[in-house]
Amino acid sequence: MKPRHLLCWGGYALKTHFDESEHWHGWWPWLCQVEPAALVCEVSEWEFVINTPCENAQKMYIGNAMGGNYAAVFAQLIINGSSQGPHCFIVPIRDENGGLYPGVTAIDMMHKEGLHGVDNGILIFNKVRVPRENLLDKFGSVAPDGQYHSPIKNKSARFNAMLAALTPSRLAVTFQALSAMKLGLTIAIRYSHSRRQFGPKAKEEVRIIEHQTQTLRLMPHLATVLALTFTSRYAGALLDEDIFQGKELVSSRVLQALVAGLKAYSTWENVGCLQDCRESTGGMGYMMENRISDLKCDADVFVTFEGDNVVMLQSVLHDAYDVDYEHRLLMSSFCTVATLIASKCQLQMNLISPADGAFL
């Protein structure tokens, strides 16, 4: 990245967004095909020309599209009529006063289920010219004579290398899902320790946590969230070390697969966990002031963004067959740890005798 852009972003003076998803297809199919309807960028003598050729190539869901100054835009790089695959360009969207630059259209996508603090919009480019230095050229560059150069010859492998940059943000989504679960569980478990309902005959009412069903519903989630926290911290430490060592993220396929798996596992767990928190707090759980409904709406999108969970698991499977035995073991272990702890917890609860639970 060019120092000039770092200067803008580092000072927080200008807002940016990351534009990968398109109207016709999400970001993933780009891995394997050159879509003729995709956003394109053609090389002129001193500039790149970013163009949205049709509706299907419009950029969708773009966070901060209604206020951002710069966008990191993925577009097919076309040189002399032939595509070199998707590349990332820094495209100025608005000036410092918020006015859109000529050729740029931004449309608000309006109401969403959650995440109301950020707008999401559609971006359309009509032959927008950007300087040649705005191509992020780590994986592919264009010389002044128009010749294309890349250290990675295969187009799919090249795009894979660019997508490896999503590993840190997938880990960030994992931690956000874990935070939502911890908050939901704190609310639900505290409520369960203070709220009382019918108890054994002719005795005082008991706290609802003493009902076996209530404990069985919440404790496995608590165990899972703890196991996932330790595994995610471990993945974070590996990632930190790789970045510190200056290692290319794409070269650590095991780590990428581990993070993809953690993202899918934790965000799905989050959906089930928050629903159980909501039910475990009865009518109170439905009230906005008690935060669980907000958490549910905000965290729901985690299962599809930064890569849909089904596709994430497919990539884990794909990598699991490709890596050696020792690494395969590491990747599968995080799933088993979480499941084992959760089921062990459930087993202990089941050991309570029917007599103990007569009031249930």
Ligand X SMILES: Cc1cc2nc3c(=O)[nH]c(=O)nc-3n(C[C@H](O)[C@H](O)[C@H](O)COP(=O)(O)OP(=O)(O)OC[C@H]3O[C@@H](n4cnc5c(N)ncnc54)[C@H](O)[C@@H]3O)c2cc1C
* Residues of this chain that bind ligand X (CB under 6 A): 17-21, 26-28, 61-63, 112, 115, 120, 301, 304-305, 307-308, 310-311, 314
* Closest approach of ligand X to the CB of residue 246, in Å: 27
- Say how many CA atoms lie within 13 Å of 238 toward its Cβ: 19
Residue 307's identity, in one-letter code, is G
- Two tokens at 259? 């993070």
Least distance to ligand X, CB of residue 68, Å: 10
CB of 185 to ligand X, least distance (A): 24
Q: Which is nearer to ligand X, 17 or 221 (CB)?
A: 17
Whole-number CA gyration radius for the chain: 25
- Going across the sheet that includes 59-63, the strands are 59-63, 120-125, 104-108
Q: At closest approach, how far in Å is the CB of 19 from ligand X?
A: 5
The residue number with the shortest CB distance to ligand X is 26
Q: Is the dihedral of CA 164, 150, 47, 4 positive or negative?
A: positive
Question: In angstroms, what is the minimal distance from the CB of 291 to ligand X?
Answer: 19
| CB 301, min distance to ligand X, A | 5
CA–chain centroid gap for 107, Å, is 23
Q: Which is nearer to ligand X, 86 or 92 (CB)?
A: 86
Residue 167 tokens read as 């590993």
Pairing assessment for the beta strands 16-19 and 104-108 based on DSSP bridges: unpaired
Q: Determine the residue type at 239.
A: L
Measured from the CB atom, the residue of 176 and 314 that comes closer to ligand X is: 314
Whichever of 247 and 318 has its CB closer to ligand X, that residue is 318
Q: Which lies closer to ligand X via its Cβ, residue 61 or residue 89? A: 61
CB of 305 to ligand X, least distance (A): 4
Looking at residue 188, its amino acid is: A
As a dihedral over the C-alpha atoms of residue 293, residue 296, residue 297, residue 303, rounded to 10 degrees, the angle is: -170
If the CB atoms of residues 169 and 293 are measured against ligand X, the closer one turns out to be: 169
Closer Cβ to ligand X, 85 or 220, answer by number: 85
Residue 328 and residue 116: Cα distance in Å, rounded? 40
For strands 196-197 and 104-108, give the pairing. Answer: unpaired
Q: What is the DSSP letter of 94?
A: B
